[in-house]
Amino acid sequence: MTNGTRTEPDSAYGPGSSDDGDIYRRFLADLFGVMAYGELSAFERMSSDARFSPTLHDRTVLGRLAVREYEHFECVTEHLVKLGLDPEAAMRPFQPSVDAFHDRTRPADWFESLMKFYVTDAISDDFYQSVAARLDPATAELVLGLKEEAEPAGEVLEARLQQALADDPRLASRLALWGRRLVGEALTQAQRVVLERAVGGGHLQGPAQGVYGDELKTLFAELTRNHSRRMSRLGLTA
């Protein structure tokens, strides 16, 4: 472990030393790496899907949300640079699993893509907020600050989904099924990312250890509960 990062060509971390600060830096590289790649991917998928919106108004609203994902991506990569880390190297380890998630959850139509962004955005927000509790204050502020918006994406998407379900109640059973599939895939994905990096990157030690182990179960139970609550607000069975 001591100088394993030295020989890894894709590593975002600086020259390895095994003190706590170094382990924390690696943890931050992983955290911001997966956030950044997730946001870049969400931007691309969301803006592509926006094109199939039923109205021009929907296209512009979805476009704006996609742009916001890109702005978050830029904010996070700037922070990586400030930490002396290479954003591309930090993102790369998460590319296969995030891409696989999107490949396994291709929306069949515009309403399914709306639902996909609603569900996955909320779960990743919850996830990062929970992680933020374990970060130094400056980093926590950055992570939480990304979500402080005049008009949160979740609210915009929820309102639009409620309207769609009111316009066409037959959507409900399809979207409920799709919601269950999405939450399953998202949690599997999140778990894989955490475990892969926890084992592979040696993050079981250090200040971030609290995220792994038993607490992980508690966290995932909470993510599931919050998801069910959101589905209820849409009048759907989770």
Of positions 91, 98, 219, 223, contacts a second copy by CB under 8 A = 91
Of positions 88, 130, 144, 209, contacts a second copy by CB under 8 A = 88
d(CA 133, CA 70): 24
Instruction: Yes or no: say if 231 and 161 are a contact pair by the CB < 8 Å rule.
Output: no
Within the chain, where are the H helices? 4-7, 20-50, 56-82, 87-91, 95-104, 110-132, 137-145, 153-167, 171-200, 214-233
Task: Confirm or reject binding of residue 44 to a second copy (CB under 8 A).
Answer: yes
Contacts of 99 (CB under 8 A, 6+ apart): 41
Region of 168 please: left (phi>0), alpha (psi -120 to 50) or beta. beta
Task: Confirm or reject binding of residue 50 to a second copy (CB under 8 A).
Answer: yes
Task: Confirm or reject binding of residue 47 to a second copy (CB under 8 A).
Answer: yes
SS3 18: coil
Of positions 32, 43, 117, 178, contacts a second copy by CB under 8 A = 43
Select from 35-43, 136-144, 156-164, 219-227 the region that touches a second copy (CB under 8 A).
35-43
Task: Confirm or reject binding of residue 82 to a second copy (CB under 8 A).
Answer: no
Q: Least Å distance between CB 97 and a second copy?
A: 15
Task: Confirm or reject binding of residue 150 to a second copy (CB under 8 A).
Answer: no
Which residues of the shown chain bind a second copy in the complex (CB under 8 A)?
40-41, 43-45, 47-48, 50-51, 56-57, 59-60, 63-64, 66-67, 70-71, 73-74, 77, 88, 91-92, 95
